[in-house]
Amino acid sequence: MKVFRFIQSITLLLTLTFVSAAVAQTVTGTITGEVTDPNGAVVSSAQVVAHNTSTGVDSPTTTNADGFYRIQSLPIGRYEVTVQAAGFNKETIPAFSLDRKSTRLNSSHAN
């Protein structure tokens, strides 16, 4: 009986060790960019959505007064980015692979 409990304890300890290691290795990436109009003027308050094509999860944000946006702590994977702003056409940036680094995307809106 003591041997069984010892083996059970070791199994639990190893399981917790592997789970901890797996959690510690989780990596994320960041998408940043600038939204401008066709003349190069910045577009503030544009809605930007990073869509993970594998999980279907959307991560929205809004551009600041300088037209910049940042979506961070995104799980590594394939993303499609959509940008919308009042008075402009909706633009979708085709799917791309996000890795552990930042990916910078710039978007120019047409009226």
Token digits for 40? 């190069």
- pLDDT tens digit sequence for 53-106: 999 999 999 999 999 999 999 999 999 999 999 999 999 999 999 987 666 666
**Model-wide pTM > 0.75:** no
Whether 29 has a pLDDT exceeding 50, the answer reads yes
Token digits for 10? 């070791």
Other C-beta atoms closer than 10 Å to the C-beta of 75 total: 15
Contact (Cβ atoms closer than 8 angstroms) between residue 71 and residue 48: yes
Give the residue carrying structure tokens 């929205």. 60
Other C-beta atoms closer than 10 Å to the C-beta of 42 total: 15
CA torsion sign for 15, 100, 108, 42 is positive
HEC profile of 47-99: EEEEEECCCCCEEEEECCCCCEEEEEEEECEEEEEEEECCCCCCEEEEEEEEC
pLDDT at site 34: 93
**Ramachandran class of 31: left when φ > 0, alpha when ψ lies in -120 to 50, beta otherwise:** beta
